[in-house]
Chain A
Amino acid sequence: MMNYKPGILKALGLIIVLQLVCQFSFGQVHTFEAGFRLQKTVDLYYENGISGQYHLTKRITLGATYLSSRLGSAIGSNAIKQDNFLLSGSWMFRPKKPLKPFVRANLGYFIADYESDVFKSLTNTSAIASLDAGLAYSFKSPLRLNLSLGYNAITGSGAKGAGTLYPVFYQTSIFWNLAKRKSK
């Protein structure tokens, strides 16, 4: 048996999964996009990460996103390291036009790393429930750009909740369509 390194196996695995997703997308006529999201919370951190969207219909998109200050404000600084895991559903308006307004509902989980036992009595996790709305622009290439403004319904209040979960955020996402094909 050849002795493969785990990193190579992971990379091969990822390629196979992406290939399967593309096949699946073509097979179902639907499409899958993957990309990066850059988010700024008003008066707090940049939290960046990765995002994927599956186009269920012309109008409905389902997505999954991971955002973290580890990939934003906490790089080389004393910002708190915090992670957001999100599942979302979007509704697209004017689906046949390149410029599409959209609204999106997000649900997820938030966790902050306070790094010291001194703070073990503090809440550092929370559910996430947010809404955002914005514009998506589909280029002729498989590239799509999303811009949106959002509001977190659950925030830390001092008496309860995670203190660094703030209400207002804006974000941009850059997606690459892995199986560019128009939905019917």
Chain B
Amino acid sequence: MKKFILFTLSILMLISCNKEPEIDSSMLDSGLYFDQSIYQPEKYLVSASVPAPTPAQAVSPVIIAIHGYGATTFEWDEFRTWKGSRTDFSISQVLLGGHGRDYQSFKNSTWRDWREPIVTEFEKLEKAGYTNISFAGSSTGSTLILKLLAEGYFDSHIKPRHVFLIDPIIIPANKTLTLVGVLGPIIGYTKVDNTAGEEKYYYHYRPYETLQQLRDIINEVRIDLQKGVTLPVGTTLKVYKSDNDDVADAASAVLIHKGIVSSTGNAPEIAMIPSKLHVFTRLNHRENTPASSDIANQTKAFSEMAYVLIK
């Protein structure tokens, strides 16, 4: 029996060692395609493009757009494209910590690292005098915003005007994420079937360490919502959720609806979107050509967000 246990342990140790994926030059993981916001922050961040706003600019709406796990600022590029030359609001596309660089950077990052650039950008804008700041998050970007709200971060800062959550993840569709603590050290990493176009913007490999971080932040926010989160005075929150999402289960919206109230005691607004796309607002480089309904969903969400921002 002892021999059997020793043999099993040896096998487990062997298969759990040296779990590094084979990364080729077509992948973001290779470190050859750092996110452009690293090189040209002034094209992505309002704090870099207009660090000293005029009084008129300071009161103009700025929305901090935050991408999801494994993604890059690319996830919000279409919002910027849709905005075009409009000057009635500005977009700050934040790159999460550990993202948009290379595999090792991703592997070594924690969810607190992911969140740090969001706080940095918000505080730079606040310090510069901006007073009309909102947030938009997609997938895990939404979860990170919810964590800031749950922690009471805004108690000692200016209050965000609006929060828009696109396909927030509180309940993972793939429930094996709950087993990452056990299976993770054995498998080392998982991989994603990106399209050729997505390969430069989304990590191909997901180290189990980051999946554990994802599980941790999801669980923390789920428990925060269970206890109840009250929005800062004057802040509104709206959730857009694909109802057939194989990454972030649609029940995530139920937990947010039950777990958040405005400062006046109202539940947040929820829009269930008839879509199979996770982050339905990102259509570029999808495997299938977007249907007319996908384009309509995206346009409607962007239009509503812009309308709310400037009204």
Q: Which residues in A have some Cβ–Cβ distance to B below 8 Å? A: 42-44, 73, 77-80, 112, 114-116, 118-119, 121-122, 155-159, 162-164, 166-168
Contacts and interface: CB of A to CB of B under 8 A. Distances in A.
A77 B251 CA distance: 17
Interface in B162-202: 171, 173-179
Nearest to A113: B254
A44 B252 CA distance: 12
Given A43-B215, A156-B249, A122 B243 contact: yes
B276 A167 contact: no
B107 interface: no
A167 B236 CA distance: 35
Contact of B250 (A78, A79, A158): A158
Given A118-B270, A118-B272, A121-B272, A156 B254 contact: no
A114 B243 CA distance: 14
Contacts of B253: 118-119
B246 interface: yes
Contacts, number: 93
Q: Which of A43, A162, A164 has the most CB of B within 10 A?
A: A43
Interface residues of B, number: 36
A158 B244 contact: yes
List 3 tightest A-B contacts by C-beta distance, closest first.
A158-B173, A163-B251, A163-B249
Given A43-B219, A119-B272, A77 B226 contact: yes
A79 B225 CA distance: 8
Contact of A166 (B175, B215, B227, B243): B175
At the interface, is chain B mostly helix, strand, loop or mixed? helix
Contacts of B226: 73, 77-79
17 contacts: A77-B228, A78-B226, A78-B227, A78-B255, A80-B258, A114-B254, A115-B254, A118-B272, A122-B254, A158-B246, A158-B248, A158-B249, A159-B245, A159-B246, A163-B173, A163-B252, A166-B178
B245 A118 contact: no
Contacts of B141: none
Interface in B225-265: 225-228, 243-255, 257-259
Contact of A157 (B174, B219, B255): B174
A159 B178 contact: no
A163 B250 contact: yes
A157 B226 CA distance: 22
Given A73-B226, A78-B228, A163-B249, A156 B179 contact: no
Contacts of B274: 121
Interface in B270-298: 270, 272, 274, 276
A80 B276 contact: no
Contacts of B171: 156, 163-164
B255 A159 contact: no
A43 B262 CA distance: 27
Contact of B225 (A78, A114, A115, A167): A78
B255 A158 contact: no
A159 B176 contact: no
Q: Which of B222, B248, B251, B258 has the most CB of A within 10 A?
A: B251
